[in-house]
Structure 1
Amino acid sequence: MVRLSRFHRLALLTASTAVITGGVLSQGSAFAATQWQKITDSPSGITVRLPGKPVVQKYSDHGVNSRDYVVPTGYGALGFSVFDGPGKAPDKPWDLRTGLKAAVDGYNSGDTSARLHSTDVHAGTKDGDRYLEARLIGAEGRVGHIRLVDHGKQSIVVMTVGTGRQRAAVDRDYRQVLDSIKTPHHAPRQVAEPAVST
């Protein structure tokens, strides 16, 4: 469900930059003046605010189209993905647990020395949409968060990864992205009731 090799490369690049500068980025750094921008995934109409202009990649696999929006940050990387299930039955949910495993595996495929694993996995609902959320921890002090949302015809994934010594920024930015998500109105998922004859 999720390909995150580009996410992985951006996270490693910016984490390396933070290590080189002792975790403090200079005022001249590309990451110093964070300017949050509203990003719209035009096929779905879903909007999210990100701390800069994202690198965008599009994929199509087994009838599912997806778009990844990833921004390098001073601590690693932050991004979201939107997956479309064309012709998806409104009463058939997305498999969020498989999506979580695919996201972590996708990140880990880039470099075995920078492996992540998920912890504190929990499910919930918000605005009628089911979600699955987890904390991410990994080698070399990496930390992060991921949330996968079943939005009916679309699934949304938000993920951030950074260095442990900048955990406060990782946590803050992740929460800010989640709070910024706006989705077009959609009817809550309902299972059709059998017809009753009178």
Structure 2
Amino acid sequence: MTRRSHFQRLLLLAASTTVIAGGAVLPSSAMAATAAPHTAAVTTVASDHDGHRQHGSPTSAKQWVETTDTASGITFRLPEKPKVEHYTKAKGRASGRFYTVENDHGIVGFLVIDASGAQLNLNDCLLSFVDGYNAESHSSSEVLTSTGVHKTTVNGRPALDARLSAPDGTVGSARFIHDGDHYVVALSLGPKEKEKPMSESYQQLLASIHMPDAGATRAG
């Protein structure tokens, strides 16, 4: 297994844990139903290094893929067509979708959790995510920690930013956003020697996020 594939597996586990944590505080009636898998609309767009769309030849700029999460209407862009992991509503978990791209720099991902009526706060989301990642760490050198945690807002919505790192040189970033009926996580993770290009991709992802509702929400 390559190191990037190792990141991919651990991030999938972390996303699963975050979805389960989100579902744990949903009303019991909401957890009882099973949701059908949602598809996502995917459009390839050309962008420059700042993430701006280009209208010329697609080969003249790096190809980024614009995706709409159908269930929430949230759109975002990733460096290529993402792999999608679906989570359906079941006892003890919410539904959600985890979109990931694995490349030479590491992993960039975008998680959407359907959490209507949930009261989970953003700090709990961060703790659940880190715990999920660390649950399958093989040694203390792989244990992920969060630093530089601070609150911010995204278009009036409460958000939480964190820096991620492990003793083995794994580095990354995460942003948790509460968007009314959804919790959103944007993240990046990779080896320290690839930190600069991974950070650039992560910043482009953050800049591309578009929430369909203009109204601000309040997190618990």
TM-score band (shorter)? 0.7 to 0.9
Alignment of 1:47 with 2:93, yes or no, is no
> How far apart are the structure 2 equivalents of 1:127 and 1:78?
22
- Contact 2:111–2:186, Cα closer than 8 Å, also in 1: yes
Alignment of 1:160 with 2:188, yes or no, is yes
Alignment of 1:97 with 2:137, yes or no, is no
> How far apart are the structure 1 equivalents of 2:93 and 2:119?
16
Q: Matched residue of 2:112: which SS?
A: strand
> How far apart are the structure 1 equivalents of 2:180 and 2:136?
30
- Contact 1:135–1:145, Cα closer than 8 Å, also in 2: yes
Residue ranges of structure 2 left out of the alignment (5+ in a row): 12-60
Query: Relative to structure 1, is the Cα distance of residues 180 and 41 closer, same or farther in structure 2, using a 3 angstrom cutoff?
Result: same
Number of the residue aligned with 1:108: 134
- What is the count of residue pairs matched by the alignment? 161
- Contact 1:10–1:76, Cα closer than 8 Å, also in 2: no
Q: Shift in Å at residue 7 of structure 1?
A: 5.6
Number of the residue aligned with 1:66: 96
What percent of counterpart residues are identical?
37
Counterpart residue type for residue 112 of structure 2: V
Q: Shift in Å at residue 146 of structure 1?
A: 0.4
> How far apart are the structure 2 equivalents of 1:170 and 1:67?
22
Runs of 4+ off more than 6 Å = none
- CA RMSD of superposed structures (Å): 2.3
> How far apart are the structure 1 equivalents of 2:7 and 2:83?
9
Q: Matched residue of 2:168: which SS?
A: helix
Q: Shift in Å at residue 84 of structure 1?
A: 0.8
Residue ranges of structure 1 left out of the alignment (5+ in a row): 12-32, 191-198
Q: Shift in Å at residue 8 of structure 1?
A: 3.6
> How far apart are the structure 1 equivalents of 2:81 and 2:167?
28
> How far apart are the structure 2 equivalents of 1:10 and 1:98?
19
Number of the residue aligned with 2:107: 77
Mark the structure with the bigger radius of gyration.
1
Q: Shift in Å at residue 108 of structure 1?
A: 1.8
Q: Shift in Å at residue 163 of structure 1?
A: 0.7
Alignment of 1:140 with 2:161, yes or no, is no
Q: 171, 183, 186: which is aligned to 2:199?
A: 171
Number of the residue aligned with 1:23: none
Q: Shift in Å at residue 94 of structure 1?
A: 4.0
Q: Shift in Å at residue 126 of structure 1?
A: 2.2
Number of the residue aligned with 1:36: 64
Q: Matched residue of 1:35: which SS?
A: strand
Q: How does 1:109-124 map to 2 (within 5 A)?
A: 109-113=135-139, 114-124=142-152
> How far apart are the structure 2 equivalents of 1:72 and 1:169?
13
Q: Shift in Å at residue 35 of structure 1?
A: 2.6
